[in-house]
Amino acid sequence: MPEPMRLQKYLAQCGIASRRAAEELIALGRVTVNGKVICTAGEKIIPGRDMVTVDGKPVRSAEKPVYIMLNKPRGYVTTVRDEQGRKTVMDLLPAELGRIYPVGRLDFDTEGLLLLTNDGNFTHRLTHPSHEISKTYLVKILGLPSPEALKALRTGVMLEGRKTHPAEVLVKHREIGSAVLVITIHEGRNRQVRKMCAAVGHKVVFLRRIAEGSVRLGDLPIGAWRHLTADEVTGLGGNPHADN
């Protein structure tokens, strides 16, 4: 698993400058990590996860970019390691894919589309609050939602003192005592869909992410993965000269 690396070493490895010259760039305040200026050499980053810029330009890792999607099953954590020893999404991927990281998170009990990449710029862009891409979920809730509940989900509900952004909400079908909704949100707050539904009185009993931006999960089997196509990578703002 990837280890944190000193910023100046990373810059040198990416061919930006010698280590010593990289230390100077850092001291001059010309280097940012995840949007923050870093002035002290010795700061550690995780290549492929953190976005590094020099003079405002993203630094590209020397590694070939890899972008994949996984259909995450329930019962897996979306981290590279788990302190409680639970299964992680990395257990579902072959080692040949190298050092890749999840783009954002899905809860332990959520299944569906999870993107993974070694391109830290891509991850940063997709998860940064200023340009979060849309995410679409298939959601089974207990109870039948009233028109008021649907309106509240669409216009925004208060979660931890902050209103959620407008969301698209479709009722896919109603059953006896439950309903299946398709909800598209444009932000990525912790357990957001579950909390939004709880805020209008409905418990979520099944949650699957089915799309991120223009990329759809389609019929990829649970637990399976595939490379994104060049078009899918471009559609999400990644490097079109990907790994396939």
Point out which residues bind ligand URA (CB under 6 A): 106-107, 110, 191-194, 207
107 is catalytic: yes
CB 120 within 8 A of CB 51: yes
Report the nearest approach of ligand URA to the CB of residue 172 (Å). 17
Residue located via tokens 């991927």: 93
- The one-character DSSP state at 15 is T
- The one-character DSSP state at 79 is S
Report the nearest approach of ligand URA to the CB of residue 235 (Å). 21
Neighbours of 177 (CB within 10 A): 8
Question: Could you say which of 55, 82, 107, 231 is catalytic?
Answer: 107
SS3 91: helix
Residue closer to ligand URA by CB (options 24, 168) is 168
* CB burial string 65-94: b at 16+ within 10 A, e below: bbbbbbbbbeebbbebeeeeeeebbbebee
CA distance 62 to 48: 10
Bridge partners, residue 58, by sequence: 53
SS3 99: coil
Residue closer to ligand URA by CB (options 132, 243) is 132
CA distance 225 to 69: 6
Residue closer to ligand URA by CB (options 117, 192) is 192
Residue closer to ligand URA by CB (options 70, 207) is 207
Report the nearest approach of ligand URA to the CB of residue 207 (Å). 6
Structure tokens at 229: 């196509």
Residue closer to ligand URA by CB (options 26, 207) is 207
Residue type, 153: L
Report the nearest approach of ligand URA to the CB of residue 52 (Å). 28
Report the nearest approach of ligand URA to the CB of residue 9 (Å). 35
CA 173 to chain centre: 28
Residue closer to ligand URA by CB (options 8, 110) is 110
Neighbours of 213 (CB within 10 A): 16
Report the nearest approach of ligand URA to the CB of residue 215 (Å). 16
| Residues known to be catalytic | 107
